[in-house]
Structure 1
Amino acid sequence: MSEVAPVSSTVLAAYSYCEAVTGLQARNFAYGIRLLPADKRRAMSALYAFSRRVDDIGDGALDTAVKYERLEHTRALLDRVRADEVPEDDTDPVAVALAHAARAFPIPLGGLDELIDGVLADVRGEEYETWEDLAVYCRCVAGAIGRLSLGVFGTVPGARDAGRAPEYADTLGLALQLTNILRDVREDAANGRTYLPAEDLAKFGCSAGFAGPVPLTELPGSDFAGLVHFEVRRARALFTEGFRLLPMLDRRSGACVAAMAGIYHRLLDRISADPEAVLRGRVSLPGREKAYVAVRGLTGLDARQSVRGRR
């Protein structure tokens, strides 16, 4: 769906604010959306800026009661966007940009409600017994973002199995989130959070967690590398399934997805090669490698290889 009317200078200013937020804070996300045409890039920036606001509330150094209050205030703002009650001269540029994006594209805004629900689970300090439990959380905080993004991307006319595109977008979001969880085990533990399923931790003798006085890798009976490789296999299976989305997208939308997913896929490979690295510090890719993945996404190389790899 294309924009229904020229974009006013007020709305463009709101989008510019969201693009600035994205450029400063998005890290991996920004590499992908640079490949999109202007209207889709702006809409994705609005989605990111709103999502960043929700995440920042959950991660902020605030009292729990204040977090609940601010998240419900953010949900009320989303309700205003959904009801098309945000005027262009509203003082909140994120609301203005998101409202315009929602008019220009068929964005399933309920996905942002799911994101808020997921962050509320973080605020409550929920932990997860099984992968099925964790997958529900991942669908809220990442699968929903995939489905929201698909509302901006759309699918190409006549795409085979296009009705399953939201499912594949959701699954790709799960793959990215599980990769995030593996990358951030040390940081999350320092903040009192454990996301990996309790039954997986027990299976590999890692129930003591990642923030104890004795390094997990030195505890008798623990197999941290085995745990990481187990989760890596799960994430790779999710990537394989999620990459079925790529042939359903136009060239530049497919390049965007291939770039973002490709960065995380390479990050997963790096974690798999040295599982204990995530306990020493934050594992990341250098900027030049991210840019290389983005270029390959634009040429279609990574997309074609990803689709071939699942056959």
Structure 2
Amino acid sequence: MRADPDLATAYAACRLINAEHGRTYFLATRLLPPHRRPAVHALYGFARLADEIVDSPGPDPAAALDALENDLHAAFLGAYAHPVLAALADTVDRFAIDPGLFDVFLKSMRMDLTVTDYPDLDALAEYTHGSAGVIGLMMLPVLGTVGPRADAEPAAAALGEAFQLTNFLRDVGEDLDRGRVYLPADHLAAFGVDRERLAATRAVGGDRRVRRAIAHLVAHTRAVYRRAVPGIALLDPVARPCVDTAARLYAGILDEIASADYDVLTRRAVVSRRRRLAVAAPGLARCLLARVRTPGPGPGA
């Protein structure tokens, strides 16, 4: 990070956003070498800006997303309308992240303004690739790889999508309250479930068909993790404990859903602080060992 007081303030703002809104993600990020953490906070901060536009929309969220995209492109040229964008532009420059990935991300964010249901997994996959898969691709240059980056890209995208699918399962009730269902309609229908049944279960609970459908989608999401996790071995050794811990923590949300008998409509699955720390502690030990073996640049933030 450049020795620029304004830039340092911008990165600090991103760190606060990450700490406040992404506790699991933030905890895993603490396992990265200090000089890489600010870049992850900047990426998270930008994603949060877009999320807030679509999840807490003002009078014209489409115009707000257009303005964010214009401000983003201006930031890449050196004009900063928001401190998060200043940090993001610096991160993109320092780690040579493909700027086009942000346009793909914003395309998915625009889908949230008009699309409220997904007929099948293919349709949902288009959304999750843009909303989460590309986040994995943005992260790769920050994390580093032991071989060609292209070899690690499929697993990185899959892990981002696994995280997103986990969030969808955790947040079914909250998303339904916003008028959205991020579960494939054909898979729900196989268990006799539709939007109306989800809404009724949200109100009174206790529907076995809904629980069976959620159990099926939890199993599908675990399969996505199984495709993604082997890619962790392709990362720079100092980054592996961070990503492995994040994967374990997010997969832990699926464990909590299963422990609650797949009730995601009257309760929200949360990994306890005790479990988060228990998962993170071995990651910290692996992280310290990797840093001894693979020394990097000195602390930067």
For 1:26 and 1:17, how far apart are their aligned partners in 2? Answer: 14
1:81 aligns with 2:81: no
For 1:300 and 1:229, how far apart are their aligned partners in 2? Answer: 33
State the shift of 1:97 in Å.
Answer: 0.7
SS at match of 1:212: helix
For 1:61 and 1:100, how far apart are their aligned partners in 2? Answer: 28
For 2:197 and 2:67, how far apart are their aligned partners in 1? Answer: 34
State the shift of 1:164 in Å.
Answer: 2.4
* AA of the residue aligned to 1:250: D
For 2:228 and 2:152, how far apart are their aligned partners in 1? Answer: 9
* AA of the residue aligned to 1:137: Y
SS at match of 2:264: helix
State the shift of 1:216 in Å.
Answer: 6.2
State the shift of 1:91 in Å.
Answer: 5.6
1:60 aligns with 2:56: yes
State the shift of 1:241 in Å.
Answer: 0.8
State the shift of 1:102 in Å.
Answer: 1.3
Looking at both structures, which has the greater relative contact order when contacts are Cα pairs under 8 Å and sequence separation is at least 6?
2
- Matched residue, 1:140: 130
State the shift of 1:15 in Å.
Answer: 0.8
Match of 2:6 among 4, 10, 15: 10
For 1:288 and 1:132, how far apart are their aligned partners in 2? Answer: 37
1:104 aligns with 2:94: yes
For 2:34 and 2:204, how far apart are their aligned partners in 1? Answer: 48
For 2:279 and 2:238, how far apart are their aligned partners in 1? Answer: 14
Give the 5 Å matches for 1:287-298: 287-298=273-284
- Matched residue, 2:187: 200
* Structure 2 CA distance for partners of 1:74 and 1:243, relative to 1, 3 Å: same
State the shift of 1:212 in Å.
Answer: 2.6
- Matched residue, 1:252: 238
Decide whether the 8 Å contact of 2:10 with 2:86 is kept in 1. Answer: yes
For 1:240 and 1:296, how far apart are their aligned partners in 2? Answer: 21
* Structure 2 CA distance for partners of 1:297 and 1:111, relative to 1, 3 Å: farther
Q: Percent identity?
A: 31
Match of 1:283 among 266, 269, 275: 269
Greater mean deviation of Cα atoms: 245-254 or 180-189: 245-254
State the shift of 1:61 in Å.
Answer: 4.0
For 1:109 and 1:288, how far apart are their aligned partners in 2? Answer: 38
* Structure 2 CA distance for partners of 1:288 and 1:273, relative to 1, 3 Å: closer
Gaps of 5+ in 1: 302-311
Match of 2:115 among 112, 119, 125: 125
For 2:120 and 2:81, how far apart are their aligned partners in 1? Answer: 43
- Matched residue, 1:169: 156
Match of 1:72 among 61, 66, 83: 66
Decide whether the 8 Å contact of 1:267 with 1:283 is kept in 2. Answer: yes
SS at match of 2:192: coil
For 2:285 and 2:244, how far apart are their aligned partners in 1? Answer: 10
Decide whether the 8 Å contact of 1:142 with 1:173 is kept in 2. Answer: yes
For 2:101 and 2:69, how far apart are their aligned partners in 1? Answer: 12
Decide whether the 8 Å contact of 2:187 with 2:213 is kept in 1. Answer: yes
* AA of the residue aligned to 1:252: V
* AA of the residue aligned to 1:123: L
SS at match of 2:50: helix
State the shift of 1:40 in Å.
Answer: 1.2
Given the two structures, how large is their TM-score scaled by the length of structure 2?
0.88
* AA of the residue aligned to 2:4: S
